Amino acid sequence: MITIYMPNGSLGSVLHGNRGCCLEWNLRYHIILGSTQGLAYLHHDCVPPIVHRDIKANNILIGLDFEPYIADFGLAKLADDR
């Protein structure tokens, strides 16, 4: 398991925390777009496809340059073709 420190915490903590951080709309769009691209990769490009099953703001980590990372694959499931 690889542990990477995410200095900005989760999207949930950025949006609802008391750190006083306010995300401008273009930055929110960048985070949403990156998150959906990550989910599309899991669903369409992985073999077998991976279904996360627990996407929420607290499971999207925010990197140093506010790039999103999908985290917590505890409920994830490999999709089969059956």
Residues 63, 8: Cα–Cα separation, whole Å: 6
Q: What is the mean pLDDT of residues 55-82?
A: 84
Residue 81 has pLDDT above 60, yes or no: no
Tens of pLDDT along 16-43?
Answer: 877 656 788 999 999 999 999 999 998 9
Asked if residue 1 is part of any domain, the answer here is no
Catalytic, 54? Answer yes
Q: Which of 54, 65, 72, 81 is catalytic?
A: 54
Residues 8, 76: Cα–Cα separation, whole Å: 24
Asked if residue 26 is part of any domain, the answer here is yes
Name residues whose C-beta falls within 8 Å of residue 45's C-beta, 6 or more positions apart in sequence: none
Prediction pTM value: 0.80
Residue 79 has pLDDT above 90, yes or no: no
Q: Which residue has the tokens 């073709």?
A: 81
Q: How many domains in the chain?
A: 1
Domain of residue 49, CATH code: 1.10.510.10
Domain that holds residue 18: 11-71
Asked if residue 4 is part of any domain, the answer here is no
Asked if residue 2 is part of any domain, the answer here is no
Residues 4, 53: Cα–Cα separation, whole Å: 22
Q: Are 65 and 7 within 8 A, CB to CB?
A: no
